[in-house]
Chains A and B, each alone.
Chain A
Amino acid sequence: MWIAELPSFIYFYLGALLLPLLRGWGRNLVLLAIPLVSGFFLWQLPEGEHWQVTLLGFELTPFYTDRLSVLFGYVFHIAAFIAIVYALHVRDLLQQVASLMYAGSALGAVFSGDLISLFVFWEMLAVTSVFLVFARRTERAYRSGMRYLMIQVMSGLLLLVGVILYVQASGSLRFDFIGLEHVGTAGLASWLIFIAIGIKCAFPFLHTWLTDAYPESTPTGTIFLSAFTTKVAVYALARGYPGTELLIYIGAVMTCFPIFYAVIENDLRRVLAYSLINQVGFMVVGIGIGTALAVNGAVAHAFNDVIFKGLLFMSMGAVLHMTGKINGSELGGLYKSMPKTTILCIVGAASISAFPLFSGFVSKSMVMTAALNNGYNVIWLMLLFASAGVFHHAGIKIPYFAFFAHDSGIRTSEPPTNMLIAMTIAAVLCVAIGVYPEMVYSLLPHDVDYTPYDTTHVLAQLQLLFFSALAFVWLNQRGLYPPELPSVNLDVEWFYRRLLPRLFEFIMGLFWSLNEVLRQTIKRFLSALGNHIHTHSGPQGILAKTWPTGRVVFWVAMILAAFLILSLY
């Protein structure tokens, strides 16, 4: 059956096209059916190249499946389904279309067998996702979206140049291991692609689009955003750059620096955005180590992160949806009116903190064990610190300031049922994977024997978490904990939100005044020239005036004389 062999993105794109024609339940049905149908067919499909197409003289394979890509395919389907359920109450066609297209683009990207398809879906990711930010329909969201788009497109352009150079140098379109070891053109190419992925992956200094735009998106839009873009980048790294040592250090930095920001950040969704970077850091480290265990850990962590980070964003989205507020300084005490949300949020928090029996535990410990096994001691310590830190800000801070802390006086109710269902699905998955990790294990790209649930790991992890919690309690009791304050914390974005515009303004000012001076000069010169010509050639000018006959005769004589002199001498 040919329908079963269609690339996954086709279902999503077609569904998106179908949506405007439908209303109410019909639309909801289509929305829900698409990830289910597409996921089912993906599950049925054997690995390999499924679709080849000739475009512009290139042989493209836009639908290529192997263990790695299929795993991402699965989790994207799951994420899409959960997010769709979560957003089912939304009656905004724009968001619905954009989110389907966005999910489809993410699937397209992970199933791209060649670099050109990858580029196309890479850009599609940017173009479609930005509407989830715009859909917030505020001036802040609009501006943030524009910045987001610019940076994403920049990533795409770098990828474009990188891909062209790479294809030129290697002669192959295939998206496979690239690595940074090339020299010459291919070296430049591999670096460009690396940076392009790095932007989407939120490498340090390239990360601010994420913390800038995600919190500005709609409550439901952020769920989609958190699931796809960075994970596509992780996938691309896992395919193109496994074992690149640089990634280990980059990843380690990514795990550590965001938690500082997370501690002092007020907007709870922005806290989650920082913790997203932190989690991606673990994956990047795993890919950088590049051993079977590490890559498995990274990929599994990506799988889990999609679900538990989704869950956390969903819980915060629910708070935002119900209260219209998301700043830690304005929230508190919501456990009374939103007990279910509170519990679900705590499940997510436990998962991200890698509590035993929750999904994050296994995958995170795989990465850390791999780091230790390969002798990256300092890295291991950093990851350990980050693990403690992530519990600190995502595991404790989020639930604490939203649902507990001092009572903000806000009285609301549980979010709509579909939101609760979506969160429940995610929570169940978190626990299920935590309890029964083989569910994911069997799908991992490498066959590795690893037993996470031994006493060593469990005990060490529990000790770490409990004592970092103790630190939180202690600091809080002593009043040392930084209070939630409405504020903006400077980040790298300062460079392009403050410095660059100012610089641009300055340079452009110079440019325009120069331009003006130049134009005035030319204009003045032209009019002077015109006047000059006019004085000679105008009706009163010497050339146009009628001469008296005598003068004419005089000049005739002069010319004859000149002629004679010239010809005689």
Chain B
Amino acid sequence: MLIHLPILQVIIPLLGAPLCLMVKGSRFVWGFTLLVSLLASMISVALLWQVEANGTLSYALGGWQAPIGIEYRIDILSAYLLLIVSCMSTIVLLGGYRSIEKEIPVSNQSYFYVAYLLCLAGLLGIVAAGDAFNVFVFLEISSLASYILIGLGKDRRALWASFQYLIVGTIGATFILIGVGYLYIMTGTLNMVDLAQRIPSVSESTTVLVAFAFLIVGVCLKLAMFPLHVWLPNAYAFAPSIVTAFLAASATKVAVYLLFRFSFGVFGIELTESILPLHEVFIGLGLAGVFAASLVAVFQQNIKRLFAYSSVAQIGYMIVGYGLDSVAGSMASLLHLFNHALMKASLFMALAAVVYRLGSVQLKDLAGLASVMPWTAAAIVIGGLSLVGVPLTVGFVSKWYLVLAALEQDLWWVALLLVVGSLLAIVYVWRIVEQMYFAPSTSGDQSDGTREAPIGLLTALWILVIANIYFGIDTRLPVGVAELAAEHIFGGRL
């Protein structure tokens, strides 16, 4: 059984998806989906434990060995991502029942769960897959599922946002496919380990460079790197709250994973470094993302959109870490992956609670929220503090490493700008805090109608909030794994 874990990780949610259609009653579907997700996360924990103990796992599907067969390959980086994705999915689902019930029409709820599981399976598959084509396949699965998930939003603009995401996402996927195709032409293999071995011998060819360009741009499109982020704010803003929470915590993280995987894992550090002034370009784009998105967030009135832009900004931090092109930078970036998943999941979960009670995420409607929904408001505060990077929250830890990584290369201006970026976070977080705590509630009906969010939602929310603090204080798990992963990926071959 243990030996089959890599495939189980992907196959369980994938098979669970159609089964959802057979389960009757929304509560049961939810329970079933949660169970599947829980299984997936337990598997991911087991996988991480195994990888830490025994090193990289390789699983040949159906017994066919690579390169002929399909390989599932779980190294420490993959295991780390699997853990993040599956656990986030589980926690979000755990609290999501009432919110889903309210935000999605009853007739569509079964489809929602199907799409959700498909998306989860796709994301897990991307990470677990050991060959490039499978990555593309799972990418498409997760993308298509997420278009559906976004389109399920009640707001009609959700459809439009979903459509735009569809166009952009498909372009990204196509680019990736083109990149993979070129690589196959040049090397005759799709297996990433083999690719990594063969590419150096053909690295002089234009084709490889073109492949690299397509792959990187495609991935950057998926991970919403500034200025390729335009699809994200609307998609996040108009999707059902739970979907936003899930996607924010997982989808972009997986895309970042792909960036690391392709550039450092497949193409290799030497090539990646030789091609481009990557270093400067990515640092520049990352910082530009931090500032542009944060500044936009400062002026946003819709909080969901505000946090969506903040996500773009946070991705900017990861890109900077990537661009630093060092163990320390990668580690900071990977650490932020984990931490950002935690903070954004908690913030969007809190917004789900707000939407559940208020039906609105406009800033002005939040006036006096703290008195009617104290727990939710407190969660937003802590999530926000984490976003800012206040000590004793996870945000602080990743920023600490990021600044250290910048200082390590004597990039003073980068360190300074990273810190300034946090200041902008303070501004937009503070606007919300002030509105919730210090503004008198605008309408009288809130006082009698509104109360604290349902207990399920709160439980999940506070698990995330506590995780935000816990991993800010006891940093061994994320820091340890991120460090291992960074060293692993920089250690050369996969």
Contacts and interface: CB of A to CB of B under 8 A. Distances in A.
Interface of A: 533-534, 536-539, 541, 543-544, 546-547, 549, 552-553, 555-556, 559-560, 563-564, 566-568
Interface string B195-215: 000000000001001101110
A544 B168 contact: no
A105 B230 CA distance: 80
Nearest to A540: B299
B171 A556 contact: yes
Contact of A539 (B214, B281, B299): B299
B303 to A, nearest CB: 13
17 contacts: A533-B298, A537-B296, A538-B299, A539-B301, A543-B292, A546-B230, A549-B168, A553-B167, A555-B230, A556-B217, A559-B217, A560-B214, A566-B276, A566-B277, A566-B281, A567-B209, A567-B210
Contacts of B234: 546
B213 A564 contact: yes
A563 B217 contact: yes
A552 B168 contact: yes
B276 A567 contact: yes
B485 interface: no
Contacts of A543: 292-293, 295-296
Given A546-B234, A568-B206, 19 more contacts: A537-B295, A537-B299, A539-B300, A539-B301, A541-B299, A543-B293, A544-B296, A546-B233, A549-B167, A552-B167, A555-B227, A555-B230, A556-B171, A556-B228, A560-B213, A560-B217, A563-B217, A566-B281, A567-B212
Interface string B259-278: 00000000000000001110
The 7 closest A-B pairs by CB, nearest first: A537-B295, A544-B296, A538-B299, A537-B296, A563-B213, A560-B217, A549-B164
A555 B175 CA distance: 14
A537 B299 CA distance: 7
Contacts of A559: 217, 227-228
A544 B300 contact: yes
A478 B178 CA distance: 125
A555 B214 CA distance: 14
B interface SS class = helix
A560 to B, nearest CB: 5
Contacts of B206: 568
Contacts of A539: 299-301
Contacts of A563: 213, 216-217, 276
B486 interface: no
B479 to A, nearest CB: 33
A546 B300 CA distance: 13
Contacts of B292: 537, 543
B112 interface: no
A555 B217 CA distance: 11
A55 to B, nearest CB: 43
Q: Which of B175, B231, B233, B296 has the most CB of A within 10 A?
A: B296
A556 B224 CA distance: 11
Q: Which of B212, B216, B234, B299 has the most CB of A within 10 A?
A: B299
Nearest to A564: B213
A125 B217 CA distance: 82
A213 to B, nearest CB: 53
A539 B300 CA distance: 6
A105 to B, nearest CB: 53
Nearest to A534: B299
Nearest to B210: A564
Q: Which of A533, A534, A541, A552 has the most CB of B within 10 A?
A: A552
B221 interface: yes
Contacts of B32: none
A453 B299 CA distance: 99
Contacts of B163: 549
Q: Which of B214, B228, B230, B231 has the most CB of A within 10 A?
A: B230
Contacts of A541: 296, 299
A554 to B, nearest CB: 11
A555 B171 CA distance: 12
A541 B233 CA distance: 14
Contacts of A564: 209-210, 213
Interface string B230-249: 11011000000000000000
Contacts of B214: 560
A553 B228 contact: no
B305 to A, nearest CB: 8
Contacts of B228: 555-556, 559
Nearest to A565: B213
A533 B298 CA distance: 10
A559 B221 CA distance: 10
Interface in B111-154: none
A551 B277 CA distance: 27
A533 B171 CA distance: 31
B293 to A, nearest CB: 8
Given A552-B168, A553-B168, A556-B168, A567 B213 contact: yes
Given A556-B168, A568-B206, A533 B221 contact: no
Given A537-B295, A544-B300, A552 B217 contact: no
A347 to B, nearest CB: 78
A42 B309 CA distance: 85
Contact of A536 (B221, B275, B295): B295
A435 to B, nearest CB: 85
Nearest to A560: B217
B18 to A, nearest CB: 32
B281 to A, nearest CB: 8
A556 B217 CA distance: 8
B299 A544 contact: yes
B227 A553 contact: no
A568 B209 contact: yes
Contacts of B210: 564, 567-568
Nearest to B285: A559
A533 B209 contact: no
Q: Which of B209, B217, B231, B234 has the most CB of A within 10 A?
A: B217
Nearest to B281: A566
Contacts of B168: 549, 552-553, 556
B221 A556 contact: yes
Contacts of A533: 295, 298
A285 B364 CA distance: 83
A539 B96 CA distance: 30
Nearest to B172: A556
B295 A547 contact: no
A358 B233 CA distance: 103
Contacts of B309: 544
B95 to A, nearest CB: 29
A559 B229 CA distance: 13
A528 to B, nearest CB: 15
A551 to B, nearest CB: 8
Contacts of A566: 276-277, 281
Contacts of B175: 560
Interface in B58-102: none
A553 B296 CA distance: 22
A552 B221 CA distance: 11
Nearest to A552: B230
B143 to A, nearest CB: 15
Nearest to A536: B295
A236 B167 CA distance: 95
A537 B227 contact: no
Interface string B426-441: 0000000000000000
A561 to B, nearest CB: 9
Contact of B164 (A536, A552, A568): A552
Contacts of A555: 227-228, 230
A198 B216 CA distance: 84
A553 B309 CA distance: 20
A563 B220 CA distance: 12
A128 B217 CA distance: 82
Contacts of B295: 533, 536-537, 543
A568 B213 CA distance: 10
A543 to B, nearest CB: 5
